[in-house]
């Protein structure tokens, strides 16, 4: 299929009916800056080729056209293509839009019209069928690409299988391999059956067959294990490859994270230390408010001790006074009388009251034995003596009570001064030194906090530096999120271990398989060596042997065919790669078959090292080469060419690479439509470079005079500049 012409009507930014692109069978470039309608062109093509939708969509209509429609007016949106495919054909997809009210548009059904030319006659056919017949979805998948990221068509696991099925003859081998192996199995079964009935070798054959069957089972299990292991090994390797790209970043990230954690911990500790004492609370809780208290405390202590001294002094004076009074009392001496002859009297208490009262009563002095009548001198003497005695007793009693009264008298009734003095004593000593030490405690603490605050400032600066470093790292790492870096680091170790284990296991399994195969060969040989008696059995045996060889041959042929197909495609792709890369380093493409029957595209250096991280442009060139190779195959196998359409596929190319690249493609004689913003600098086309190309070039851009905020003022204009 060769596209001759594309006509776009009222599709998005393509306003009106005058949007026509004509194409040669080589390269056509459509140049446009951002927002000029490049992707819309590509989308219009995709919309045309999509045969799965039936409804029009108002969003596809030109905003400008829509805004200009009168109520009741009808308009059409369409994309039409004129192309060459076994003669000239055309296809048009369209839908109608009618403005019913200010805000409402009625959208009509999609109409898919196709025309074919037979001789000179033009016949209308189903557009859908025409597209499906000439440019089916499968081909589209390998021929239309939007952006660089879509180029890796083999990212889809079934893509290669589809491709192989379409373009190689391997499919045919599938049936053959199946037939021949079933023949072989049947022949074998028949042969073994005959063998067992053979008189001579029946017993031996039976036991051999049993062993062979068992072994065959083991072998097939082993093979399955090996396949599983190989698949998982591939998964591990692939994942590891991806991870290794981030590994360095990941390790640096890890390092930064651990330093950050460390510093943050330090900051936390410093902050805790600094806020350990709240100055406001410490005034009360730690009694710092007493820092200026020592002088007051001195006053208190002095006052207390003065009071105590004064009180004790007064108390002492008072006691002395009391003692004097008591002394005075006691100092009153008794004057002793004298008797007639000058001899001293007996003390007043001799004889005692009882004796005297008895003698007065009996009227006789019981000392001298003389009578003492009442009124006599002796009687009177005794009576006076008794009276004196009584007076003495009374006097004694009075004196005693007087003394007691003096002794009982107290100057101070209460002990307040003592308890104040006690308080003063308790506030002295260690408590006093604590209070006078507060000033030092406070200034020590403030000094410490000052130092800690300095440290904290420093740590916070370091943290900021580390965070900056992390941001720089993340910017350099590009689109990798922190979570992935974190995870990668953990994964990579685990994956290495798993991969290692899988490799060891695979080697073991292969060894075991080899052993089993040897045993199997031995058994087969023994079986073959049996010499059956019956010639019938011999015939069976020979038939089986022949069929077995045939089955092997077909299986091998199938494998070989696929290998050759891939090798051929690889060669072609490498051919393109060399051409497209020109003088630049390009390496070598290898198409590698994986265990699950899909294919990977890899770039290798000629010394056999895989280029793990090809640049964006290297990748693009690599994929485009493969796509060209596939396109060649289509041409060979189907005898039909088809166009390759790329939208902004070369955005990673530098200026010099661009020019060379387009020149090469221009000379390939393959229809290629490339929509790109290459060759445009600051909105202007670089004409000198365009001049060097031989291809046809269109320039699309927004028509002048649009309102930068109103989409209804935007329309794409098309100009053929070469």
Q: What are the residues whose beta carbons fall under 8 Å from the beta carbon of 641, sequence distance 6 or more?
A: 1, 2, 631, 634, 635, 670, 671
Q: Which is nearer to other proteins, 118 or 414 (by Cβ)? A: 414
Judged by CB under 8 A, which stretch of 93-101, 212-220, 436-444, 685-693 contacts other proteins? 436-444
Subset of residues 314 to 333 that bind other proteins, contact rule: CB under 8 A: 314
Minimum distance from CB of 423 to other proteins (Å)?
7
215 near other proteins (CB under 8 A): no
Helix/strand/coil for 213: helix
User: Helix count (H) and strand count (E) of the chain?
Assistant: 19, 17
Residue placing its CB nearer to other proteins in the complex, 423 or 546: 423
In the bound state with other proteins, the residue whose beta carbon lies nearer, of 147 and 415, is 415
Q: Which residues is 74 bridged to in the sheet?
A: 98
- In the complex, the smallest distance separating the C-beta of residue 386 from other proteins, rounded to whole angstroms, is 48
Nearer to other proteins, 12 or 421 (CB): 421
Q: Nearest 5 degrees, angle CA 329-CA 330-CA 334?
A: 105
User: Among residues 31, 435, 621, 622, which is the contact residue for other proteins, using CB under 8 A?
Assistant: 435
Site for other proteins in 437-476 (CB under 8 A): 439, 442-443, 446
* Residue from 671, 666, 677 nearest 5 by CA: 671
Q: Which two tokens stand for residue 705?
A: 């005079």
> Total residues at the site for other proteins (CB under 8 A)?
45
Interaction between residue 285 and other proteins (CB under 8 A): yes
**415 is a site residue for other proteins (CB under 8 A):** yes
List all residues 6 or more positions away from 584 whose beta carbon is below 8 Å from its beta carbon: 657
Asked if 388 contacts 396 with a C-beta cutoff of 8 angstroms, the reply is no
Tracing tokens 């017949």 back to the chain, one arrives at 133
Confirm or reject binding of residue 417 to other proteins (CB under 8 A).
Answer: yes
Pattern 250-279, other proteins, x by CB under 8 A: ----------------------------xx
Choice between 279 and 556, CB closer to other proteins? 279
- Please identify, using beta-carbon distances, which residue of 86 and 285 lies nearer to other proteins: 285
Instruction: Pick the stretch among 297-305, 373-381, 477-485, 604-612 that binds other proteins (CB under 8 A).
Output: 297-305
Nearest residue to 97 (alpha-carbon basis) of 123, 71, 126, 124:
71
Strands 684-685 and 680-681, how do they pair? antiparallel
| Buried/exposed 208-226: b ≥16 CB within 10 Å, e otherwise | bbebbeebeeebeebeebb
Task: Compute the least distance from the CB of residue 431 to other proteins, in Å.
Answer: 8
What string of H, E and C letters represents the secondary structure of 357-398? HHHHHHCECCCCCCECCCCCHHHHHHHHHHHHHHHHHHHHHH
Q: Which stretch binds other proteins (CB under 8 A): 5-13, 133-141, 295-303, 672-680?
A: 295-303
Count of CB atoms within 10 A of residue 172's CB?
Answer: 11
Report yes or no: 331 and 320 within 8 Å, Cβ to Cβ. no
Q: Does 585 contact other proteins by CB under 8 A?
A: no
| Smallest separation (angstroms) from other proteins to the CB of 281 | 6
Strands (E), 517-639: 588-593, 599-604
Exactly one of 423, 467, 539, 721 binds other proteins (CB under 8 A); that residue is: 423
Q: Confirm or reject binding of residue 288 to other proteins (CB under 8 A).
A: yes
In the complex with other proteins, the residue whose CB is nearer, 314 or 524, is 314
Residue 360 Cα distances to 355, 369, 370, 380, 671, angstroms: 9, 13, 12, 9, 178
Cis peptide preceding 701, ω within 30 of 0 = no
Least distance to other proteins, CB of residue 430, Å: 12
Count CA atoms closer than 13 A to 159's CA, side-chain side: 18
Judged by CB, which is closer to other proteins: 360, or 442? 442
From candidates 101, 280, 479, 583, binder to other proteins by CB under 8 A: 280
Quick check: 291 binds other proteins (CB under 8 A)? yes
Query: Minimum distance between the CB of residue 701 and other proteins, rounded to whole angstroms?
Result: 58
Footprint of other proteins on this chain (CB under 8 A)? Answer: 278-293, 295-297, 299-300, 303-304, 307, 310-311, 314, 411-417, 419-420, 423-424, 426-427, 435, 439, 442-443, 446
């Amino acid at each position: 299929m060769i596209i001759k012409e594309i006509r776009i009507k009222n599709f998005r930014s393509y306003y009106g009916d005058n949007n026509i692109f004509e194409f040669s069978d080589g390269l056509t470039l459509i140049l446009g800056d951002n927002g000029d309608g490049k992707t819309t062109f590509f989308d219009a093509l995709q919309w045309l080729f999509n045969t799965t939708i039936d409804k029009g969509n108002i969003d596809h209509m030109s905003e400008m056209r829509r805004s200009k429609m009168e109520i009741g007016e009808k308009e059409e949106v369409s994309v039409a293509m004129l192309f060459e495919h076994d003669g000239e054909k055309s296809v048009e997809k369209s839908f109608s839009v009618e403005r019913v009210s200010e805000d409402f548009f009625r959208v009509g059904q999609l109409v898919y019209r196709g025309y074919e030319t037979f001789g000179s006659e033009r016949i209308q056919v189903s557009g859908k069928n025409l597209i499906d017949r000439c440019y089916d979805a499968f081909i589209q998948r390998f021929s239309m690409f939007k952006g660089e990221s879509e180029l890796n068509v083999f990212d889809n696991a079934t893509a290669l299988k589809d491709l192989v099925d379409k373009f190689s003859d391997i499919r045919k081998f599938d049936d053959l391999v199946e037939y021949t192996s079933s023949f072989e199995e049947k022949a074998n079964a028949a042969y073994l059956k005959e063998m067992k009935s053979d008189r001579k070798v029946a017993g031996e054959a039976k036991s051999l067959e049993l062993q062979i069957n068992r072994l065959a089972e083991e072998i097939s299990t082993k093979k399955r294990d090996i396949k599983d292991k190989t698949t998982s090994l591939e998964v591990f390797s692939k994942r590891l490859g991806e991870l290794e790209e981030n590994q360095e970043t990941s390790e640096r990230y890890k390092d930064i994270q651990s330093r950050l954690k460390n510093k943050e911990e330090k900051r936390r500790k410093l902050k805790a230390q600094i806020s350990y004492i709240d100055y406001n609370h410490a005034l009360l809780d730690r009694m710092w408010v007493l820092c200026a208290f020592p002088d007051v405390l001195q006053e208190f202590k002095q006052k207390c001790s003065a009071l105590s001294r004064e009180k004790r002094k007064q108390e002492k004076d008072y006691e002395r006074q009391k003692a004097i009074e008591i002394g005075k009392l006691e100092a009153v001496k008794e004057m002793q009388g004298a008797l007639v002859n000058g001899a001293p009297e007996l003390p007043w208490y001799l004889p005692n009251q009882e004796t005297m009262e008895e003698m007065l009563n009996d009227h006789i002095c019981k000392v001298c034995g003389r009578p003492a009548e009442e009124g006599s001198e002796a009687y009177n003497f005794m009576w006076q003596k008794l009276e004196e005695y009584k007076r003495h007793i009374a006097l004694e009693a009075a004196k005693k009570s007087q003394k007691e009264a003096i002794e009982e008298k107290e100057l101070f009734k209460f002990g307040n001064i003592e308890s104040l003095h006690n308080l003063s004593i308790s506030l002295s000593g260690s408590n006093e030194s604590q209070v006078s030490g507060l000033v030092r405690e406070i200034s020590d603490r403030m000094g410490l906090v000052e130092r800690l605050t300095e440290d904290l400032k420093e740590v916070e600066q370091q943290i900021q530096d580390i965070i900056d470093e992390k941001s720089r790292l993340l910017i350099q790492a590009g689109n990798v999120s922190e979570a992935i870096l974190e995870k990668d680091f953990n994964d990579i170790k685990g994956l290495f271990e798993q991969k290692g284990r899988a490799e060891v296991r695979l080697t073991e399994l292969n060894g075991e398989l080899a052993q089993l195969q040897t045993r199997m060969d031995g058994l087969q040989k023994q079986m073959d060596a049996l010499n059956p008696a019956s010639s019938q059995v011999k015939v069976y045996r020979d038939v089986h042997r022949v069929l077995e060889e045939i089955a092997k041959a077909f299986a091998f042929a199938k494998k070989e065919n696929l290998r050759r197909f891939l090798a051929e495609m690889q060669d072609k792709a490498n051919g393109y790669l060399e051409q497209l890369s020109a003088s630049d380093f390009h390496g070598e493409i290898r198409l590698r078959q994986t265990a699950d029957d899909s294919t990977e595209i890899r770039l290798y250096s000629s010394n056999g090292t895989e280029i793990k991280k090809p640049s964006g442009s290297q990748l693009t060139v690599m994929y485009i080469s493969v796509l060209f190779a596939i396109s060649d195959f289509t041409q060979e196998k189907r005898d039909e060419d088809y166009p390759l359409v790329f939208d902004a596929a070369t955005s990673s190319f530098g200026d010099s690479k661009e020019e060379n690249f387009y020149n090469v493609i221009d000379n390939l004689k393959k229809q290629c439509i490339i929509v790109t913003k290459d060759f445009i600098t600051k909105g202007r086309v670089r004409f000198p470079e365009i001049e060097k190309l031989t291809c046809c070039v269109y320039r699309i851009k927004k028509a002048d005079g649009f309102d930068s905020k109103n989409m209804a003022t935007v329309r794409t204009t098309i100009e053929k500049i070469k």
